[in-house]
Amino acid sequence: MIEVQASPKHFLGMPAARFLREYWQQKPLLIRKAFANFTSPLSPDDLGGLACEDHALSRLVTHDPDSDQWTLRSGPFEESDFAALQDSNWTLLVQDVDKWDADVAALLPRFGFLPSWRLDDVMVSYAEDGGSVGAHVDQYDVFLLQGLGHRRWQIDTDPNAPKRFREDVELRLLREFTPSHEWLLEPGDMLYLPPGIAHHGVAEGPCLTFSFGMRAPSVAEMLSDFAGHVAERLPEELRYSDAGIAPAKLAGEIDEAALEKISQTLLASLTENAVPLRGWFGSFITRYRAAHEAVPREKPISARELQRRIDAGASLEFNPWSRFAWSREGRDAILFVSGESHRCPRKLAVRLCQREALDAVESMAFLPASINVLVDLVNGGHLAPGRARRKT
Ligand code: SIN
Ligand code: CO
């Protein structure tokens, strides 16, 4: 089955466990009415406004169908840039829209069946009729939700399809693309694609598409970060050693015994190390590919002051750019926040990973035991005490 109908109980058209077992990272799936009666939380004008912001990552792709020429421009844009465009064959794409728009972020809990640290961002594209970014392949899983209007998606499920790119275009466009499937998506329909599936989506009339993109660090990235992390902790005195070697026979030879020794030494340093894998990974994944970092609070807050503000009814609001994850540590948790780690009760770690503002009553339940963690998060710029509200 490559096409399913969602139901009120199953937005993926099946239980999440079945989707994960049969489709996730393996096969594409078109889910009709995944978001039933979907109304876009964002308008094309909102997206255009965001693309004019200095710190938003935006791109404009235009295509001339007659000459098959593509142009790619990066933002920030000016309103006049859009006014100068034709009414067809262009697409505006903005990355990380979930960090800028709370209503877009509110769509994310639907993907709670996946570890939240696997989710990268919500990219939103607005295209005029014929607008597209061309046929391409992504390295990450993506859920493409149709927000407004219609988009015709074509995909190629052939694992042996050629993957050569055009050299005349800045975009990584496929030279050849022979679709095996084609659908017209309506608002609320969603196409899931695992990494490596060639796809091509063309707007039929004005069209808004939400891409929920996953993150998968390359093994090369993980290895070099982990090795660096281990290396920083190894003492200078731990060095290449070769007690008990046989006399050298031929000048300059690096023999099998030496290679074996090197291999054992390196593997031992990575596996028997005093640096638990979980501590490294939590810190690595919560700072991986972060487009913006939290700015530490200018004037640090004291535990007493924070306690006073919570007592007065202040909520704790999240910095949308801060990433949270946690891992078990005995009966507690190690909470990872944008590369830093804090020991705290599991309940607090789970609650913070939900990323919804904590009202004063909720915060109080974690006090006084966790006040120091909350103070660190506030001073690091990851949480901010909001306006005092009346206690409920
Ligand atoms: C788009 O929204 O136009 C492109 C999204 C994608 O292909 O990943
Ligand atoms: Co894509």
CA distance 226 to 275: 10
Q: Would strands 142-156 and 119-127 be described as parallel, antiparallel, or unpaired?
A: unpaired
Q: Which residue from 379, 382, 351 is spatially nearest to 364, judged by alpha carbons?
A: 351
274 — pLDDT class (breaks 50, 70, 90): low
The pLDDT of residue 167 is 84
Which ligand 1 atom sits closest to the C-alpha of 200? 7
Q: Which residues contact 39 (CB under 8 A, 6 or more apart)?
A: 187
Residue 177 · residue 136 · CB < 8 Å: no
Q: Which residues lie with the beta carbon below 6 Å from any ligand 1 atom?
A: 91, 125, 133, 138, 142, 199, 201, 209, 211
Give, for ligand 1, the residue of 146, 154, 156, 209 to mutate: max count of ligand atoms closer than 8 Å to Cβ. Answer: 209
Residue 392: the pLDDT is: 46
pTM value is 0.93
Which residues have their alpha-adjacent CB atom under 5 A from ion ligand 2? 138
Give the pLDDT mean for 106-124: 97
For residue 138, give the ligand 1 atom closest to its CA: 8
CA of 133 from ligand 1 middle (Å) equals: 7
Ligand 2 centroid–CA 196 distance in Å is 10
CA atoms within 13 A on the CB side of 154: 12
Average pLDDT of the segment spanning 75-96: 96
Separation of first and last alpha carbons in the chain = 49
DSSP string, 290-317: -SS-PPPPSSPPPHHHHHHHHHTTEEEE
pLDDT of residue 264: 92
Cα→Cα distances 1→5, 6, 19, 22, 101, Å: 11, 13, 11, 10, 35
How confident is the model over 346-386, as pLDDT tens digits? Answer: 999 999 999 999 999 999 999 999 999 999 999 999 999 99
Domains defined along the chain, listed by start: 3-214 (2.60.120.650), 303-385 (3.40.366.30)
